Amino acid sequence: MMKGLIFNIQRYSVHDGSGIRTVVFLKGCPLFCPWCSNPESQGAVQHTEWIKNGKTETIGEWKTVEEVVDEVLKDEMFFRTSSGGVTLSGGEALAQYEFARELLKELKLYSIHTAIETTGSTSAYHLKELLPYLDQVLFDLKIMDEKNLKKVLGANLSKVKESFKLAAETEGVELIPRVPLIPDYTANEENLMQIIDFLKKYNINQVHLLPFHQYGSNKYHYLGWEYAMDGIPALSTDEINNIKEIFIAKKIIPIIEGLA
């Protein structure tokens, strides 16, 4: 029986797709964003250990599709009354695309609204496998300079673009581009203009912006890792407003969403 390695199931989320959602966090991510708020999810699909309050904890639990479905169906009433549903996140949910596909397939049998949060940086084939069972794709665009993207995050821009194109051209799937606003990395005018040019190619006129925060910083401490964003302040209201203006000037509506 197929199992997925899950490191969290979060209920009552309102920032991860439409309505009230239950978010299933899958382990594994090929990227290493310096600002990552789930660093315990990075790397291969395998357990991670950290030391929290003096105790060693193992992150991640193998679960069957049925176990996850039983868990998320507890909130079915909230999904129905809020036009919400289930969102697969990570990590990079595509890192376990076979499990994700089977889980989405099962959720569709219950007519549950489904979404995925992805960077599209594994393979377009992985996303293609999931698209028949997805209603929404929340697609994170980060750094649009190819060399910089490779150097900073370890991602391949052509894979990102290919996956994005696939989602954009799939009928019946709502594509929501999201941009984490990270000081020194993504939240500069040159990068934002590149994102705007890219969105324009697909006639997209709305973007969700996710301002940087330091909420994941203690996890680096538990893992014994250095936190590259230590001491970097959150963007000020003025800075966020200036960024919104960049999008508005190009006729793209910016929506400030949850947090990066």
32 binds ligand SF4 (CB under 6 A): yes
186 binds ligand SF4 (CB under 6 A): no
In the bound complex, what is the minimum distance in angstroms from residue 170's beta carbon to ligand SF4? 22
Among 3-11, 64-72, 87-95, 185-193, which window interacts with ligand SF4 (CB under 6 A)? 87-95
User: Which residue number, 59 or 69, has a Cβ lying nearer to ligand SF4?
Assistant: 59
Element (H, E) at 238: helix 237-249
Element (H, E) at 193: helix 189-201
In the bound complex, what is the minimum distance in angstroms from residue 259's beta carbon to ligand SF4? 11
Among 32-40, 57-65, 168-176, 218-226, which window interacts with ligand SF4 (CB under 6 A)? 32-40
92 binds ligand SF4 (CB under 6 A): yes
| Alpha-carbon gap, residue 38 to 232, rounded angstroms | 17
87 binds ligand SF4 (CB under 6 A): no
User: Which residue number, 76 or 162, has a Cβ lying nearer to ligand SF4?
Assistant: 162
41 binds ligand SF4 (CB under 6 A): yes
| Alpha-carbon gap, residue 110 to 30, rounded angstroms | 31
191 binds ligand SF4 (CB under 6 A): no
| Alpha-carbon gap, residue 185 to 213, rounded angstroms | 14
Please tell me the count of residues contacting ligand SF4 according to CB under 6 A: 12
Q: E strands along the chain, which residues?
A: 3-13, 21-26, 48-52, 55-59, 61-64, 85-89, 113-118, 136-140, 174-181, 206-211, 253-256
| Three-state SS sequence of 114-146 | EEEEECCCCCHHHHHHHHHHCCEEEEECCCCCH
In the bound complex, what is the minimum distance in angstroms from residue 39's beta carbon to ligand SF4? 7
**1 burial type by CB count under 10 A (0-12 exposed, 13-18 middle, 19+ buried):** exposed
29 binds ligand SF4 (CB under 6 A): yes
Site string (94-133) toward ligand SF4, x via CB under 6 A: -------------------------x--------------
Let me know: does 88 contact 101? Beta carbons within 8 Å: no
Token pair of 37 as six digits? 């708020």
State the residues that interact with ligand SF4 by CB under 6 A. Answer: 29, 31-33, 36, 38, 41-42, 90-92, 119
